[in-house]
Amino acid sequence: MTGVVKSTGKYALLVGSALALSISAASAASMAKAGMDKRVADLEREVTLLKNQMKQAMMAKPADKNIQSGNSRVKVTIYGQVNTAFRVASSGGESQYQSVSNDGSSPRIGIRAVGQVNKNLSIVGWHELEWQYNRRSATGNANDGNERLRARHVDLSVAHKDLGTVSIGKGSIAGDAADLYSMSGTGYVFGFGGPSGNDGGVGPKSRAWVFGSFFGARQNRIRYQTPRVMGAMLEGSINENDSISFGALYSGAPPGVKDFRVLLRAGYRSDPNKHTDGMDGDKDRVSSWGVSGGIGHSSGFTVSGSYGTTSEKGSMVKPFKWNVELGWAGKVNDMGKTNITVGYGNYNDGMYGIAKYYYFAVNQAIDSAASDIYFGVSNDTGTVTQAAMAAIAAVPGTSAVAAGIVGPNPAGAADLTGVSFTGLLDEDGTTVSSDQNARAAELFEDGQQIPNANLDGVDATNDADKVYTYRAAKDATDGMPAQDAKPAMAMNRDGVLVFLAGVRIKF
């Protein structure tokens, strides 16, 4: 029995030891698993944290919307754009191929700083710099380059919510671009700027430049703008060189109208009359008017138009222009809005000729890249005259005086021998001595005005290849009253066909 007990005890001891080792191993495994689970959980939390940080970084507000200012009390915004296109222009059997800086919406960079005095009053500083190479409006085969660097805005404004805004410095005058507003969305491709304003460096020299008074009218000035009231704003400015201007702008939906929106811009500008040299004091001015805008429907269709003209004392030369456009805007793809426009313009500079302007333009927005791609085609035709329309004042029994004789004479030099010039304007605008026939002829051919030309003794021949001075002399010699001189000759000029395709990116 004793041997059996000893043997049983021995086996029990072995079983107990095995059981203890098994429990110890299980405990160790359990502890190891718990540690692993904790580590996995920690790793999952770290991964989640990193994902959230990456998501926040991707959704963060763009830097150009929240630039850090050197003064925490002033909000600073930096912005700009680059706009470059490829252009093909054909006229008179010759073609030009160029890369151009599209100054319909020119490359620029700007800084705007806003300091908030209180909830109603703010002070705004604005600097904007424009740089261009091969600017579209002036580049042709003979003058590639046209590098230009200039300040568009150097402006300081004080704006009150209820009282309006006063701006001083270089910037838009009241009425700026009065005859250039459109609802098409393609105005910088082809539009109310006309053949010379859009592509003045190609084709014949004269393509009816009309609208300089409101085209890019940025000067040193003091301007006041009223607050917007139901979408309307009025403005007035005193500009450099004794110029004044007024403007109005309305944008919005008329009261009670849901499906239509309206854009209306108007401007008036008065400048000194260089041709009559202030002989009539304050009445001696050059007046310019412009109006433009359009009507849009919720379907995306728009109709836009413009009109502009200038009147100048001492001359019957009254340039004018008008335009009409039909457009559509909508989303035809996932990139962004698409704008399509067809347009027509009629330009008469009152001096050299008339231009008829037809164009088609498309602009495709790429929202994800803050960019636009665009293309278009235009064609302009017209006539060129050898003489301007001008009033010829003749007083019977006295020396005949032409109130304003204007060139040019494409057929040959103007023979003005015998004409006494009592107020000939030199290049710098000052009055020089009389009887300078050579200089008079040069001014005449350049299309400049020659005031106070005494026509006594001038040959009254009225050949087709002569400038209309002779017609004026004949009327004066016959003692006829003031009347419009008839152009000596009008001829059709070569048409200009332009194709343009480009990209604009904003930042």
Tell me the two tokens of residue 464.
């087709």
The pLDDT assigned to 166 comes to: 98
pLDDT of residue 214: 81
User: Is the preceding omega at residue 408 within 30 degrees of 0, hence cis?
Assistant: yes
pLDDT of the residue at 134? 87
pLDDT at 114: 95
Cα-to-chain-centroid distance, residue 265: 15
Phi, psi of 484 (to 5 degrees): -80, 130
CB 267 within 8 A of CB 176: yes
pTM: 0.68
Q: What is the pLDDT of residue 381?
A: 87
* Distance in Å from the first CA to the final CA of the chain: 102
Strand partners, 79: 110
- The string of DSSP letters for 89-119 reads EEETTEEEEEEEE-GGG--EEEEEEEEESSS
pLDDT given at position 290:
93
Cβ(382)–Cβ(437) below 8 Å: no
- In this prediction, residue 475 carries a pLDDT of 39
Q: What pLDDT, on a 0 to 100 scale, did the predictor assign at position 377?
A: 97
What gap in Å lies between CA 6 and CA 9, rounded to an integer? 5
Per-residue pLDDT of the chain (507 residues; tens, 9 = 90+): 444 445 555 555 555 555 555 555 555 556 656 666 666 676 677 667 666 666 665 555 544 445 567 778 899 999 999 999 999 999 888 888 989 999 889 999 999 999 999 999 999 999 999 988 888 888 877 766 578 899 999 999 999 999 999 999 999 999 999 999 999 999 999 999 888 778 877 876 667 665 567 877 889 999 999 999 999 999 999 999 899 999 999 999 988 888 999 999 999 999 887 655 444 445 568 889 999 999 999 999 999 999 998 887 666 667 889 999 999 999 999 999 999 999 999 988 766 678 899 999 999 999 999 999 999 999 998 876 543 333 333 323 223 333 333 333 333 333 444 444 444 334 443 333 333 444 444 444 444 444 444 444 433 333 322 333 433 433 333 443 333 334 344 567 778 999 999 999 999
pLDDT at residue 471 in the model: 38
CA-to-CA distance for 488 and 461, rounded, in angstroms? Answer: 12
pLDDT at 403: 31
Contact between 338 and 309 (Cβ < 8 Å): no
Looking at residue 440, its pLDDT comes to 46
Q: Is 297 strand, coil or helix?
A: strand
**What are the extents of the domains in the chain?**
32-61, 65-386+495-506, 388-488
Count the residues in the chain.
Answer: 507
Backbone angles phi, psi at 31, to 5 degrees: -65, -40
Evaluate the CA torsion angle 276, 277, 279, 282 in order and state its sign.
positive
Contacts of 398 (CB under 8 A, 6+ apart): none
pLDDT in tens, 97-150: 989 999 889 999 999 999 999 999 999 999 999 988 888 888 877 766 578 899
Spatial distance between the Cα atoms of 8 and 14, rounded to a whole number of angstroms:
10
Buried/exposed 359-383: b ≥16 CB within 10 Å, e otherwise: bbbbbbbbeeeebbbbbbbbebbbb
CATH topology of domain 65-386+495-506: Porin (2.40.160)
Fill in the DSSP letter of residue 388.
Answer: -
- The phi, psi pair for 10, rounded to 5°, reads -65, -45
Q: Is residue 213 within 8 Å of 269, Cβ to Cβ?
A: yes
* Alpha helices, H only, 350-505: 437-445, 469-477
